[in-house]
């Protein structure tokens, strides 16, 4: 089975997040995990259509996609979000449609659920088959119980792809609205009697 891992860490292959992916690869050598550094190379991905297309080509031939990212300030890194924007801007949604997917994050367990909800919603928007998420603490790989939990997560992901389990969307699609903002006419000045007014927004 071939899995494309979209690495959201700006640190690339040396990141803590990727150590969890390497552990999955070690535990399941029968599957091929191809790691693509997204956040670290976002400027190149943005500026070079060929590099972006290479990522899409890799996703096209994969059996599943693993979104793997650290959690920074309640969400995935901005470079990762930029890549997600590029998918829509360049009309590449169909490449991701119907692919099985899961999410793996590393954090200190502070608002990692918001990152999971975000990635889940993105996957729903892309019509992917989301099967679950795994939230790891930065040092969980040292704990046998946590390594087993990670192994079970990966096993379930691979099994879901192999058995083609049914999935359901959890998030409503974003409905685009086209409208023109037309500001109202400005009214005359109000006399404030020589006082100063501070507007706090």
Digits of tens for pLDDT over the chain (201 positions)? Answer: 999 999 999 999 999 999 999 999 999 999 999 999 999 999 999 999 999 999 999 999 999 999 999 998 889 999 999 999 999 999 999 999 999 999 999 999 888 899 999 999 999 999 999 999 999 998 999 999 999 999 999 999 999 999 999 999 999 887 878 888 888 887 777 788 888 888 898
| 88 is a domain residue | yes
What is the DSSP-derived secondary structure letter of residue 72? Answer: B
DSSP conformation letters of 6-63: EE--TTGGGSHHHHHHHHHHHH-TTSEEEEEE-GGGHHHHHH-HHHHHHHHHHHHT-S
Residue 183 pLDDT: 85
| 177 is a domain residue | no
| 201 is a domain residue | no
Residue 109 pLDDT: 84
Residue 168 pLDDT: 93
| 187 is a domain residue | no
| 180 is a domain residue | no
| 196 is a domain residue | no
Question: Residue 153: which CATH number?
Answer: 3.40.50.360
Residue 73 pLDDT: 87
Domain total of the chain: 1
Alpha helices in 70-195 (DSSP H): 78-89, 93-96, 112-125, 144-163
Q: Which domain holds residue 146?
A: 2-163
Q: Among positive and negative, which fits the CA dihedral 180, 185, 191, 194?
A: positive
| 51 is a domain residue | yes
Residue 125 pLDDT: 96
Q: How far is Cα 60 from Cα 55, in angstroms, rounded to an integer?
A: 9
Question: Taking every pair of C-alpha atoms in the chain, what is the biggest distance, in angstroms?
Answer: 80
Q: How far is Cα 135 from Cα 157, in angstroms, rounded to an integer?
A: 14
| 65 is a domain residue | yes
pLDDT tens-digit readout, 139-175:
999 999 999 999 999 999 999 999 999 999 999 887 8
């Amino acid at each position: 089975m071939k899995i494309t891992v979209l690495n959201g860490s700006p640190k690339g292959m040396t990141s803590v997040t990727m150590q969890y992916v390497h552990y999955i690869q070690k535990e399941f050598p029968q599957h091929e995990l191809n790691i693509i550094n997204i956040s670290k190379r976002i400027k190149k991905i943005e500026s070079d259509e060929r590099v972006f297309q290479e990522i899409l080509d890799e996703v096209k031939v994969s059996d599943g996609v693993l979104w793997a990212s650290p959690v920074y300030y309640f969400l995935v890194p901005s470079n990762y979000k930029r890549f997600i924007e590029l998918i829509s801007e360049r009309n590449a949604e169909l490449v991701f449609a119907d692919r099985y997917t899961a999410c793996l994050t590393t954090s200190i367990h502070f608002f990692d659920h918001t990152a999971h909800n975000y990635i889940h919603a993105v996957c729903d928007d892309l019509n992917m088959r989301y099967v679950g998420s795994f939230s790891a603490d930065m040092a969980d790989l040292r704990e046998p119980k946590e390594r087993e939990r990670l192994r079970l997560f990966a096993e379930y992901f691979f099994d879901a792809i192999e058995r083609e389990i049914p999935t359901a969307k959890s998030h409503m699609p974003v409905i685009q609205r086209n409208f023109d903002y037309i500001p109202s006419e400005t009214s005359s000045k109000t006399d404030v009697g020589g006082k100063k007014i501070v507007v706090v927004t």
